Structure 1
Amino acid sequence: MPSVTIHTTQNVRIDYETAGVGLRIGAFAIDLIGVLITYFLLLFFLQLVEAEIDLAVLVQYGLVFYILLYFFFTEMLSRGQTIGKRILKLRVIRLDGEDPTPADFLARSIFLLLDVLFTAGVLAVLLIVTGRQNQRLGDVIARTVVIHTRHFGGVSLRDILTIRNREEHVARFASVQRMNDNDMLLVKQTLARYRHYGNPAHRAALRELAAKMSDLLEVAQTDRPASDEQFLEALLLDYIVLTR
């Protein structure tokens, strides 16, 4: 599957699977159905209350602006997800790892006119299919990309970078620098599942992982914290302090 590599402001490299044309069409179709339903309900209400508005003009021109406003506000207020994108587990992110700004979402919405509305979606499909990062023109202008939100079982490097007490932590296990980001994501995921479920199966997984890490890093049992959980968290903190 096509992917994109994001380098965050913490100099962390994260690979994401980009959304293909089928999923993006599906998300847009879901959004468009919702937009059409709500828009014509609004027109019906205005007609019902006999509002002094030219409904013919609204039907002819208002729908375009309504679509643009929908995509702009839903993506901006939901951190890159419209209703359709949320259902299909897609999200808009920036290529530099920062959160997209309102200006980015505005650019994406405006270029829907050319990408989709004025070309019946042909331009968007061609660009997504032929582009290396599956970007439509609005993505290229805003420097954004649409990705699958699933990544490493729902655990991202941002989870690691927000572990508590990072500033006060003094590294104890220098050998953890042999590990890579994916290794430490596995450690974080195992810890998160153990803390969430706490059942014997996850406790056994935690114990096995701690033993494996001890062997790989050549850490003696006497040099480890009292519990497997504390040991793995110490390794995570050491990894962050020593490699970031």
Structure 2
Amino acid sequence: MDISNTSSEYQKPKNLAGLGRRWGGQIIDTLITYFLILFVGRLAEFIGLPPNVVAVLALGTGVAYYLFSDAMPNGQSLGKKLLGMSVIDERSYLNCNLYQSFIRNITTPFLNILDWIFIFFGSRKRLGDMLASTIVIRVR
């Protein structure tokens, strides 16, 4: 009896986001992170909070956005939404959740270049995507 396993083999989706689009989304999200840090910091200073509290609030807001932004509605950070991409689970195709967003983004500040080298291989997944079992697709 011949049983074919072709249906259980991973097949790369045809609508994976391209490298340029992904890099652009990364730049936009990084700029948004910096903007949030500056905005929250200035606002907290304006309110008159102590410098230590200002620093914690500003950095905490920026880091929270950066780590958890891919779990925003439809698996789209603001950068991904602007460029028509979405982060989804590679098996279920459900939107990226908080845990996956954290895992896929925590690697970037520490392994930035190494993390992105992986994207040039066939699956177009950076190390963070591999660890979180996510893929980035085009939605328009």
Q: TM-score range by the shorter chain?
A: 0.7 to 0.9
1:38 to 13, 36, 39: 36
* Alpha-carbon distance between aligned partners in 1 of 2:31 and 2:43, rounded to the nearest angstrom: 18
TM-score (norm 2): 0.76
TM-superposed CA distance for 1:68, in Å, is: 3.6
Q: Paired residue for 2:133?
A: 143
- Which residue of structure 2 lines up, in the alignment, with residue 53 of structure 1? 51
Q: Which has the larger radius of gyration?
A: 1
Match of 1:127 in 2: 118
Once residues 128 and 80 of structure 2 are traced to their aligned partners in structure 1, the CA distance between those partners, rounded to angstroms, is 16
Corresponding position: 1:87 with 2:82: yes
Larger relative contact order (C-alpha < 8 A, sep ≥ 6)? 2
Percent of residue pairs bearing the same amino acid type: 24
Stretches of structure 1 lacking an aligned partner (at least 5 in a row)? 1-6, 8-12, 117-121, 151-244
Q: Is the contact between residue 90 and residue 135 of structure 2 (CA under 8 Å) also seen in structure 1?
A: yes
Shift of 1:20: 2.6
What is the correspondence of 1:188-227 to structure 2 with a 5 Å cutoff? none
Q: Aligned residue for 1:20?
A: 18
Q: Secondary structure at the match of 2:31?
A: helix
C-alpha RMSD of matched pairs (Å): 2.7
Residue 214 of structure 1 is matched in structure 2 by none
Judge conservation of contact 1:91–1:149 (CA < 8 Å) in 2. yes
- How far residue 126 of structure 1 moved from its aligned partner, in angstroms, is 1.2
Question: Unaligned regions of 5+ residues in structure 2, if any?
Answer: 1-6
Deviation at 1:14, TM superposition (A): 8.4
Superposition TM-score, scaled by structure 1 size: 0.46
CA distance in 2, matches of 1:25, 1:14: 20
